[in-house]
């Protein structure tokens, strides 16, 4: 298949979770023999932190404004089997209009920010990457978040027809067990871009335990942390890390923490790609709790759950053999179910099913 994608970014992992996910998916789609073309608006803040310049086996099309690339996009769509528009794509509405008007490629929407989308809708706010028709014109809607509520909300509020989850994943070529590095050494680490709606969880599960255990070393990696973040002397910081540095970051931690954005945790069935990345690097996982987590990792066996600072402190008190047993089981589960190769194959199966359903629908209309 030829798959054309209109997304937020694949070229820069700075300040977003989209790029790493798309890199893994696109790599494995091309390995499966598919043609991938990714359209990305070239904006300064991603250009200044670009860590991915070409799409191996595919094409990365960077452009300054929609009008200058519209003709090229039309040509790509003309012989494409599938055209995907994603959440937070700056030109999502224009791309959607072009895909629908051309009527050739299967129109697909992939919401990598489902809880944020629904939270805006429920607050009466507009969603900048969706037009007045919502999701009615898409043959398939993919959601980074699963669970029964998503299907109902997307149907009722946005007119979506066929809604399927396509969860996060990890590129095991990049995220894998590697030797530790002294400058990343930590008893507990946290890797993530600063987000106000994660701050309460980060303070409860990371900052408070750090204050209580001044004898331990805590490490945060990420971008956009404000000057007034509640640092303590034993909390260390490394600025934005490109994906190539994730493996040594995780490998140097005795344990790593995952904190889910508030809207995602409330929705449930929302595994962060960071969970799978850490597990693939062989580090023990500690996470906040949310509905559906048991479908991805078994609490107590493959992942530890923290609801407050005491839970984090209890996890830190576990023996190294116990933690390594948990990490080993999480690694095995991830390699079996949550790799980018696995997700790429799931995506292809969903697309082929949607193409087949569309063909049957067209035949019935013609009859």
What pLDDT is attached to residue 365? 41
3-state secondary structure 274-316: HHHHHHHCCCCEEECCCCCHHHCCCECCCEEECCCHHHHHHHH
**What is the signed CA dihedral for 171, 172, 173, 178, rounded to 10 degrees?**
130
Enter the tokens of residue 99.
């895909």
- More confident: 363 or 261: 261
> Which of 11-15, 109-113, 245-249, 250-254 is least confident?
11-15
What pLDDT is attached to residue 258? 98
Q: Is the pLDDT of residue 364 over 70?
A: no
The pTM assigned to this predicted structure is 0.90
What pLDDT is attached to residue 240? 80
Q: What is the pLDDT of residues 24-78, one digit of tens each?
A: 999 999 999 999 999 999 999 999 999 999 999 999 999 999 999 999 999 999 9
Q: What is the mean pLDDT of the chain?
A: 95
Enter the tokens of residue 234.
């034993």
* Domain ranges across the chain: 2-169+341-366, 182-338
Q: What is the pLDDT of residues 220-248, one digit of tens each?
A: 999 889 989 999 999 999 988 888 999 99
171 touches 340 (CB < 8 A)? yes
Distance CA 317, CA 81 (A): 53
Enter the tokens of residue 17.
């979770």
Q: pLDDT confidence of 15, banded at 50, 70, 90?
A: confident
Pairing verdict, β 218-221 and 140-143: unpaired
Q: Which CATH architecture has domain 2-169+341-366?
A: 3-Layer(aba) Sandwich (3.40)
What pLDDT is attached to residue 8? 99
Q: What is the pLDDT of residues 95-128, one digit of tens each?
A: 999 999 999 999 999 999 999 999 999 999 999 9
Same fold across 2-169+341-366 and 182-338: yes
- The CATH number that domain 182-338 falls under is 3.40.50.2000
Q: Is the pLDDT of residue 367 over 60?
A: no
């Amino acid at each position: 298949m030829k798959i054309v994608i209109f997304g937020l970014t694949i070229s820069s992992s700075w300040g977003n979770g989209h790029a790493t996910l798309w890199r893994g998916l696109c790599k494995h789609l091309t390995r499966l023999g598919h043609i991938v073309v990714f359209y990305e608006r070239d904006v300064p803040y991603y250009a200044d932190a670009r860590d991915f310049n070409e799409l191996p086996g595919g094409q990365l099309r960077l452009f300054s404004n929609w009008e200058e690339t519209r003709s090229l996009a039309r040509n790509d769509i003309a012989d494409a089997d599938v055209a995907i528009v994603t959440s937070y794509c700056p030109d999502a509405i224009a791309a959607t209009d072009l895909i629908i008007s051309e009527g050739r490629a299967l129109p697909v929407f992939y919401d990598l920010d489902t809880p944020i989308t629904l939270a805006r809708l429920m607050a009466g706010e507009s969603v900048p990457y969706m037009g007045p028709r919502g999701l009615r014109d898409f043959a398939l809607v993919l959601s980074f978040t699963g669970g029964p509520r998503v299907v109902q909300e997307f149907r009722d509020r946005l007119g979506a027809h066929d809604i399927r989850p396509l969860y996060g994943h990890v590129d095991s070529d990049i995220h894998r067990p590697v030797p530790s590095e002294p400058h990343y050494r930590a008893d507990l680490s946290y890797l993530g871009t600063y987000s106000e709606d994660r701050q309460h969880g980060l303070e409860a599960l990371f900052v408070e335990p750090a204050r209580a255990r001044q004898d331990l070393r805590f490490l945060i990696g990420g971008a956009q942390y404000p000057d007034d973040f509640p640092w303590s002397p034993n909390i260390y910081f490394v600025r934005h890390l490109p994906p190539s540095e994730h493996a040594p970051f995780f490998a140097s931690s005795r344990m790593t923490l995952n904190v889910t954005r508030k809207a995602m945790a409330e929705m449930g069935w929302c595994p962060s790609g960071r969970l799978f990345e850490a597990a693939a690097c062989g580090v023990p996982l500690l996470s906040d709790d949310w509905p559906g987590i048991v479908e991805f990792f078994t609490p107590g066996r493959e992942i530890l759950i923290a609801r407050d600072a005491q839970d984090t402190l209890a996890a830190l008190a576990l023996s190294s053999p116990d933690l390594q047993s948990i990490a080993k089981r999480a690694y095995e589960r991830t390699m079996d179910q949550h790799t980018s190769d696995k997700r790429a194959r799931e995506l292809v199966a969903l697309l082929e099913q949607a193409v087949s359903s569309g063909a049957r629908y067209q035949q019935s209309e013609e009859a």
